Structure 1
Amino acid sequence: MTRKLQEAVRAGKRQAAPFRKGPPKPDPKLPGRKSGAAHGKHGHRPSPPPEQIAECREAPLPDACSHCRGRLIETSAADPYQTEIPARR
């Protein structure tokens, strides 16, 4: 009697999920995101038209790094834009 009880308790703790999943798909897709531009449209907006630009400021490169005091070399330039969103009242 004790052995049957122990077997019943052990059977209740077995995982049933692997047996209920069904057969595997013949050609499953690879997990993860596609590489490069193949994974869809990026969330970058285009730069605003010139008539929407109200103010331009220059941000010159400092002479040295603020942490290591090493010399900085400009390799490229970027055009960042900041948009003011009016407050709702």
Structure 2
Amino acid sequence: MGAMDKLKAKAGVLMGRAGELAQRHGEKIERGLDKAAQTVDAKTKGKYSERIETGKGKAKQALDRLSQQATQQPRQPGENGGEAK
């Protein structure tokens, strides 16, 4: 197995783990996004409100996609929380 194959395998495992975390902690992550957006909007005195809202919406969509991908992918050997070899 070449180095690129090993990197791809590890990236797949990490994506799966990220998806699982997104599923378990999605509400907390969304609250954090909302709070961060409010803070940035306050610091910029509303000058970039539209862009901040757009970014927040895209981040939430990405979170949803990541969470959905985790439910659709079957677990692979080595994805039990330990190191894949």
Higher helix proportion, which one? 2
Place the TM-score, normalised by the shorter chain, in its bin: under 0.3
Say which one has the larger Rg: 1
- TM-score w.r.t. structure 1 length? 0.25
Higher RCO structure, 1 or 2 (CA under 8 Å, sep 6+): 2
Q: TM-score, normalised by structure 2?
A: 0.25
